[in-house]
Homo-oligomer: A and B are copies of this chain.
Amino acid sequence: MQNKFSYKITHELGQGTLARTGTIHTPHGDIQTPAFIVVGTKATVKAMTPEQVRGVHAQAVLANAYHLYLQPGHELIDKAGGLSKFMNWDGPTFTDSGGFQVLSLGSGYKKVIDMTGTESNTPKQERRAFIDDDGVTFHSHIDGSKHRFTPELSVQIQHGIQADIMFAFDELTSLVDPYSYQQESLVRTHDWAERCVVELDRLRALHPERPYQALFGVIQGAQYEDLRRETSKLLGDMSFDGYGIGGAIEKEKIGDIVRWVNEELPKDKPKHMLGISEPDDIFAAIENGVDTFDCVSPTRVGRNGAFYTYEGRKNIKGARYYDDFTPLLEDCTCYTCQNYTRAYMHHLFKSKEILGLTLMSLHNEHFIIKLVDDIRDSIRDDSFFELKESWLKNYYEAKG
């Protein structure tokens, strides 16, 4: 049992929604859902110790297969005893497959070595990653060196990293790709999904002593309802432990797309949405049946001085905070707000002091995690729509 993965729905909101609360059980502990999963791309949540991550009530950390493959390499993390031990985080972990990064970062390196070996300064826009039916050839964003990911390699990497939950390797399409290409790409993503299942079964048989690693299939299909439903049915029939909802999505379509997908996928499997953290997107996704999310945003914008309040995002570098001796957010229970003033945070950012990055990341992660925790409570006591209305009104309509 300790060794297993499971998901259990604990409450359904109903009221015409797909929102629910639940518990994901992993070998490294349980996750109460809906939950915001903090991002630790390179085996560290940027600027925070694992104790600080725990202190903001994070339940799980999501690292990245592409980044860890390039540095330090998954074999090293495997030798270290897996991600959890390597980075000193004893809770549940996820890894993203690298599918997104090989096509974004892997095509964006400015100074690349051409496939022929010729070094050149390539414009960032020029596509330097090549997809074929077997996999993706790309260039490291660090040094321009050439690499190739296949579904099998992505699973091998994620198996080496040893996260509790991994994602199938998929092809990310863009909103400008035509319908015909989205169709063609989905065939590939289905084929790759099957190859991921087969490869993980092979690795599990080779290492029966290891804790069970769950595999989530990834649903693409851009903004097309027929494609989203079709791929959801297809992957829904496969032996995945859960599902990721990915792909380029216009903000206003998030709710619809998630609903199409979740109406087709098996209800009793957990659903993760990749890369969202805007409060209205979070409400829309949860309302339509998403259980977990991840996003780099809270730490990334925090390192630039932005902080979340109930009246929207503000930036601490503003001159008005110079002598403001109130906390970032009144009544916030995070370590930063309990111990430091806006004036001190303003000073740290003006002085480019590292501590500012830590304290700001901490507040922002705490804020978004608390929002999702509050939404979870509101599903349990059937007050979801009251919370949604008042919260979003405050956040997006407040002045100043």
Interface hits, A342-391 → B, CB 8 Å:
343-344, 346-348, 350-351, 353-355, 357-359
A343 & B42 in contact (Cβ 8 Å cutoff): no
Q: Is A86 an interface residue (CB 8 A)?
A: yes
Segment among A71-79, A214-222, A245-253, A257-265 that sits at the interface with chain B? A71-79
A71 touches B358 (CB 8 A): no
Q: How far is the CA of A308 from the CA of B351 in the complex (A)?
A: 27
Residue of B nearest to A47 (CB): B354
Kindly report which residue of chain B lies nearest to residue A362, judged by CB atoms. B49
Is B46's CB under 8 angstroms from A354's CB?
A: yes
Interface of A with B (CB < 8 Å)?
42-50, 71-72, 76, 79-80, 86-88, 322-323, 325, 339-341, 343-344, 346-348, 350-351, 353-355, 357-359
So how many copies of this chain end up in the complex?
A: 2
Which single member of B43, B45, B322 contacts A347 (CB below 8 Å)?
B43
**Which residue of chain B lies nearest to A356 when distances are taken between CB atoms in the complex?**
B44
Pair B46/A353 contact, Cβ less than 8 Å: yes
- Interchain CA distance A44-B43 in the complex, whole Å: 26
Given A44-B348, A322-B72, A347-B71, answer yes or no on A355-B49 (Cβ-Cβ < 8 Å).
yes
Chain B residues with Cβ below 8 Å from A339 are 50, 88
Query: A340 contacts B47, CB within 8 Å?
Result: no
Q: Is the CB of A42 within 8 A of B353?
A: yes
**Docked-complex contact B47 and A344, CB < 8 angstroms:** no
Q: Bound state CA distance, A341 and B79, in angstroms? A: 12
* Interface CB pairs A-B, < 8 A, 14: A42-B353, A46-B354, A46-B355, A47-B358, A49-B359, A50-B339, A71-B350, A71-B351, A72-B322, A72-B347, A76-B323, A80-B343, A80-B344, A86-B341
A261 to chain B minimum Cβ distance, whole angstroms, is 34
Chain B residues within 8 Å of A43, by CB: 344, 347
Contact status B347-A358, CB under 8 Å: no
Residues of B within 8 A of A351 (CB): 42, 44, 71
Closest chain B residue, CB of each to CB of A325: B80
Q: Would you give the shortest CB distance from A101 to chain B, in whole angstroms?
A: 14
A48 to B355, CA, bound (A): 6
Shortest distance from the beta carbon of A299 to any chain B beta carbon, whole Å = 10
Known: A341-B80, A358-B49. A72 touches B346 (CB 8 A): yes
Once the chains are docked, how many angstroms separate the CA of A323 from the CA of B322? 46
* A48, A323, A344, most chain B CB atoms within 10 A: A344
Contact with A76, one of B86, B343, B359 (Cβ below 8 angstroms): B343
A325 to B346: give the CA distance in the assembly, Å: 39
Residues of B within 8 A of A322 (CB): 72, 76
Cα-based distance from A42 to B347 in the complex (angstroms): 9
* Complex: A72 Cα to B341 Cα, angstroms: 13
Chain B residue contacts of A48, Cβ below 8 A: 355
Contact residues in B for A325 (Cβ distance below 8 Å): 79-80
- Are A344 and B42 closer than 8 Å at their CB atoms? no
- In angstroms, how far is the closest chain B Cβ from the Cβ of A337? 12
A322-B72, A323-B76, A343-B80 given; A357·B355 CB < 8 A: no
Contact B355 A47 (CB under 8 A): yes
From B88, B348, B353, A340 is in contact (CB under 8 Å) with B88
With a CB–CB cut-off of 8 A, which chain B residues contact A46?
A: 353-355
CB distance from A273 to the nearest CB of B (A): 26
Q: Chain B residues with Cβ under 8 A from A343's Cβ?
A: 72, 76, 80, 86
